[in-house]
Copies of this chain bind each other. A is one copy, B any other.
Amino acid sequence: MKNLAILGSTGSIGQSTLSIVEQFPDRYSVAALAAGHNIDEAFAQAVRWHPRLVSMATEELAGELSARLRKAGVTGIEVAYGTEGTVACATLPEADFVVSAIVGVAGLEATHAAILSGKPIGLANKECMVAAGEILTAAARERNVPILPIDSEHNAVHQCLRVGAHSEVKTIWLTASGGPFRKLPLDQFASITPEQALKHPTWVMGRRITIDSATMLNKGLEIIEACRLFDVTPCQVRVTVHPQSTVHSLVEYVDGSILAQISVTDMRLPILYALAYPERPASTLTFDMAALSHLEFEQPDFERFPCLRLAFEAAEKGGAHCIALNAADEVAVEAFLERRIPFTGIPRTIEKVLASTTEAHPATIAGVLAADREARQTARALLA
């Protein structure tokens, strides 16, 4: 029985994780839930799962949750709030496994704290690895803490890496759907609207990640994530555009063999894999082989998607450049969604922020967060 702390429990990954706990009551239970602002969902989850600890974004929300629980006659649940509350969830002695699924750098401190307290991590938060991968992986290695990737590409890579030694890996091929603008003429990119960019062909996801898929910056973040998670160089990571999103990624070995992982596009599958590793419990997420009837793979177009190039450059430099890439993108995507800059302004903003970033490798989470704030300020100043 694994007792879970779920950071980001009311988000999409958090909810999928709880649906797996529901399916496998003999394998998993809930020790702690770190929610954000969604008080209704947090209350429902607390009542349903009765964890030892629930954390909300603010003191006010925590107070409201406590009141509701009292009114409902639910006792024995401690309620906390803020970063401190999230860290308390992540380090709760009863928790055996931490699912890190808070979007953005907000989950960083808690994920770091979980690693420091020796808890295995299921990592759905890619910004953590991009911004602080050097620190997190060093801490995990030191304490022999496994970090199991929950996003579909890195989860696929994790599976494919099991058939060879680390020194035998030649190339990690991350698949990309190519987003909605894979075939759009280049001269029309400047006039892409938020509505067009928010329509992703294969996955239903949050707003920022959907725009990041359209610019392929999302794949750029995954390149950096892959370098950190799997201890490879940026030269060893490549992207292949696979519009069907059926093959979730591939690993090429030095002997010439390539291993690929295939499954339905359902996040419960990588979550279950991370929770159960190295076991594979039987699930109902059956793949229909008919979906293999027709698969395409093609090279990404670096001219259409300059964010890919920027990500490779940031991956090479590491440290502050990776932090700036992520931070500048978040600011630029916000500006694009508010129609303050065009679609092509996103890579332009990132490029400018990266150009003004000095090479540095923050050694602490505080240092990472400072570099993140600085990059956001630079981006905001550029867009003002």
Q: Which residue numbers of A lie inside 8 Å of B, CB to CB?
A: 159-160, 162-165, 168, 173, 240, 247, 250, 252-264, 266, 269, 272-273, 276, 279-287, 289, 292-299
Contacts and interface: CB of A to CB of B under 8 A. Distances in A.
Given A262-B250, A280-B168, A296 B294 contact: yes
A268 to B, nearest CB: 9
Contacts of A299: 289
A240 B297 contact: no
A297 B292 contact: yes
A135 B287 CA distance: 35
Contacts of A295: 292, 294-297
A269 B252 CA distance: 13
B280 A257 contact: yes
A256 B260 contact: no
11 contacts: A160-B259, A168-B279, A252-B287, A255-B276, A255-B282, A256-B269, A256-B283, A256-B285, A259-B262, A293-B296, A295-B297
Nearest to A266: B256
A258 B261 CA distance: 6
A159 B257 contact: yes
A289 B173 contact: yes
A297 B283 CA distance: 24
Given A292-B240, A297-B292, A256 B287 contact: yes
Nearest to A238: B289
**In the complex this chain forms, how many copies of it are found?**
2
A258 B263 contact: yes
Contacts of A297: 289, 292-293, 295
Contact of A255 (B165, B173, B254, B285): B285
Nearest to A158: B163
B255 A272 contact: yes
A267 to B, nearest CB: 12
A111 to B, nearest CB: 25
Contacts of A273: 255, 257
A262 B261 CA distance: 11
Contacts of A282: 254-255
A261 B256 contact: no
Contacts of A159: 163, 257, 259
Given A289-B240, A298-B293, A257 B261 contact: yes
Nearest to A285: B256
Given A165-B280, A256-B266, A256-B287, 11 more contacts: A159-B259, A160-B259, A168-B280, A240-B289, A240-B292, A253-B280, A255-B282, A257-B263, A260-B262, A289-B299, A293-B298
A266 B297 CA distance: 22
Contacts of A256: 263-264, 266, 269, 283-287
Nearest to A268: B256
A284 to B, nearest CB: 8
Contacts of A276: 255
Nearest to A270: B257
A260 B163 CA distance: 11
Contacts of A269: 255-257
A244 to B, nearest CB: 10
Contacts of A266: 256
A272 B254 CA distance: 12
A362 to B, nearest CB: 35
What 3 pairs between A and B have smallest CB-CB spacing? A256-B285, A254-B282, A292-B297
